[in-house]
Structure 1
């Protein structure tokens, strides 16, 4: 039985990161841009078989769409053409996400809605799609309480890591990992697509076609259903994706040879869009998803220790919660007093809001305490703008 393969790539750069790398004359900036540009370039002419899911953070879309940035890197990458190629619906299924790439369960509930809403605002315009069926939780940080929020935005399915699944309906190991399922929270339910952690680790580190085909064959040989094998990694980080030498990176050494095998009928997998698989095969069984994230270089994703392991990280996250309450209270008071539409108040409140949301970027907490000051700086700017807004309340 031919397994269906869903390839998922997460593309995210923190605010101003590419600009700062360019300012420092760092080769890494060009490596990242080349890696992004290599995605559609590698797939030209493969629209018949190539199927790739992309999650692009709002901060990355904002950077690539910025005219000044586009002009600055034009000799390296044509960002306008790159974004245009990502509109190709034959090869790319775009996944929704949060604008500033926060670990959603770690931020205030009211801010989660704004993170999703602001991403839709930029993505619908740039990527030219009215709807996005799937959702990529930044860092795969998921908790069951997110289900009503995702359904309110009309998301059909969400990606979760295989290590956090608990079956409610009795099912085999193969069924649990290689079938979509239903997860429920209260009266809301969503389809769950399972990331195979082991195969995703191999995709991140580097693998060849023969190994992948053999491994998938062994893992799915007892399936009495068409299996969906889902692999998810970053798409522009790490040497395997950044390597510019032909024949030594993910696309030229693995994915394009895989597509050749598929065309020749010599592959154990066939690329698919998750939405297409669901249309044909649906979902089976109910699961619970334990709160957690995907595995990182230091942690297995349980308990969000990567982002909450130190006192300073936890203090900053607590300060975000306090600031969020203050922003929401200012908006409430303005509505009560009838000045919510005041231009000056709106400008101050918007400044306070986006600074707050940017402070929630996962990268600010990912590197231990090294980048926490970025969150602190945005929170300080947010408080300043908020105090201006409060002064207008009288």
Structure 2
């Protein structure tokens, strides 16, 4: 009997300052989130022989968890400093690279991509004590082929994409398309593409039983002629299924740990695997192209990014980001040409840049118009710093 492999991927993200604000205004929700984060390693202790989990932590979440003031504030509820240490258990966790402020990358200016990705690498390398991260998690699974050269230049081996947007270049049937890794090529660079099973991921998000999952995987992979890789990706700190504190009523204690128990003794159960281990063992199948899009949300399918662009105010906010980004990068290039390195000027320019990058956070545009004001505030602060930098350069 050929084995079947399961790659579990969890996205963990909180916007800058969100946990601190919740701790003050809605402490139980803040505790639910912290408990959900802390439950991940605690649920897996003792299963190092079989458990394999991929984690993508946004830069803003890592920044909050690493903040000594925040650690002191929540100490007694969750030991956040120890939690970061637990995530370094390489027997259980594969850390995926991502973008620092969790933007929908195809919706922001390409000149900002490298800043978002390199800043995450800075904090990721510091907190996880490693130079390289094999896999890349595009926030909201927002991907476009134009990202491929940058991902390769930063050392990524593979990227996760949603099944809704993948189209074969090499002729293949749908089981091969969904359950084998492939390559995608753009601009002379290529990267391995790992395809998320949208239907099974929807079940993972809302709640499922181990028996149902095993039967569904068996049925879906029945016609695979090589060991299939079934990849499920969801948030890991949102929704009642992940936040529920009752034993036996959340993802870990009702589904994943019982699945691990079965996998230890039944070779027919999908075996957890790190994606890089699967690639080392079985390689890739063919070539695909990936259409620009995101994963599905509770309201939209991910095509056209309607979740983030549905209203005029959302569109205006994104348009303002593009305009300000052009000004910021033009001034950076001008300063480099003139050799201007004064500390006061560079500080003003950095203030403008990081405020711009934070304005690009996907959450600012996800909730209709409810959070667009947060992007607008950051953009206004960025303009103020940029104008001061422009005046400085002219003086």
**Does the residue aligned with 1:303 lie in a helix, a strand or coil?**
helix
**Does the residue aligned with 2:303 lie in a helix, a strand or coil?**
coil
**Does the residue aligned with 1:62 lie in a helix, a strand or coil?**
helix
Question: Is the 8 Å Cα contact of residues 258 and 267 (structure 1) preserved in structure 2?
Answer: no
* Alpha-carbon distance in 2 for matches of 1:338, 1:304: 40
Moved over 2 A (4+): none
**Does the residue aligned with 2:202 lie in a helix, a strand or coil?**
helix
Question: Is the 8 Å Cα contact of residues 216 and 268 (structure 1) preserved in structure 2?
Answer: no
Corresponding position of 1:184: 185
Corresponding position of 1:386: 386
Structure 1 position 172, deviation (Å): 1.0
Match status 1:310 vs 2:305? no
* Alpha-carbon distance in 2 for matches of 1:25, 1:317: 29
Match status 1:116 vs 2:124? no
Corresponding position of 2:7: 6
Structure 1 position 136, deviation (Å): 0.3
Question: Is the 8 Å Cα contact of residues 32 and 242 (structure 1) preserved in structure 2?
Answer: yes
Match status 1:348 vs 2:348? yes
Question: Is the 8 Å Cα contact of residues 352 and 381 (structure 1) preserved in structure 2?
Answer: yes
* Alpha-carbon distance in 2 for matches of 1:138, 1:253: 27
Corresponding position of 1:248: 249
**Does the residue aligned with 1:299 lie in a helix, a strand or coil?**
coil
CA displacement 1:102-136 (0-9 Å, x = unmatched): 00001011101000000000010001121000000
Corresponding position of 1:281: 282
Matches within 5 A, 1:53-132: 53-132=54-133
Which blocks of at least 5 consecutive residues in structure 2 are unaligned? Answer: none
CA displacement 1:315-342 (0-9 Å, x = unmatched): 1111001101111111122222221x21
Structure 1 position 25, deviation (Å): 3.5
**Does the residue aligned with 1:177 lie in a helix, a strand or coil?**
helix
Match status 1:138 vs 2:136? no
Question: Is the 8 Å Cα contact of residues 100 and 117 (structure 2) preserved in structure 1?
Answer: yes
* Alpha-carbon distance in 1 for matches of 2:39, 2:268: 24
Q: TM-score, normalised by structure 1?
A: 0.99
Structure 1 position 310, deviation (Å): 1.0
Corresponding position of 1:297: 298
Which blocks of at least 5 consecutive residues in structure 1 are unaligned? Answer: none
Matches within 5 A, 1:262-281: 262-265=263-266, 267-281=268-282
Corresponding position of 2:221: 220
CA displacement 1:65-115 (0-9 Å, x = unmatched): 000000000011111100001111111001110000000001011101000
Question: Is the 8 Å Cα contact of residues 164 and 290 (structure 1) preserved in structure 2?
Answer: yes
Structure 1 position 388, deviation (Å): 1.3
* Alpha-carbon distance in 2 for matches of 1:32, 1:164: 31
Question: Is the 8 Å Cα contact of residues 4 and 268 (structure 2) preserved in structure 1?
Answer: no
**Does the residue aligned with 1:111 lie in a helix, a strand or coil?**
helix
Corresponding position of 1:319: 320
CA displacement 1:127-152 (0-9 Å, x = unmatched): 11210000000000011111111111
* Alpha-carbon distance in 2 for matches of 1:166, 1:338: 47
Structure 1 position 216, deviation (Å): 0.4
Structure 1 position 266, deviation (Å): 5.5
* Alpha-carbon distance in 1 for matches of 2:56, 2:388: 36
What is the count of residue pairs matched by the alignment? 393
* Alpha-carbon distance in 1 for matches of 2:347, 2:262: 56
Are the structure 2 counterparts of residues 303 and 19 from structure 1 closer, same or farther at C-alpha, using a change threshold of 3 Å? Answer: same
Question: Is the 8 Å Cα contact of residues 261 and 267 (structure 1) preserved in structure 2?
Answer: no
CA displacement 1:344-377 (0-9 Å, x = unmatched): 0111111101000000000000001110000000
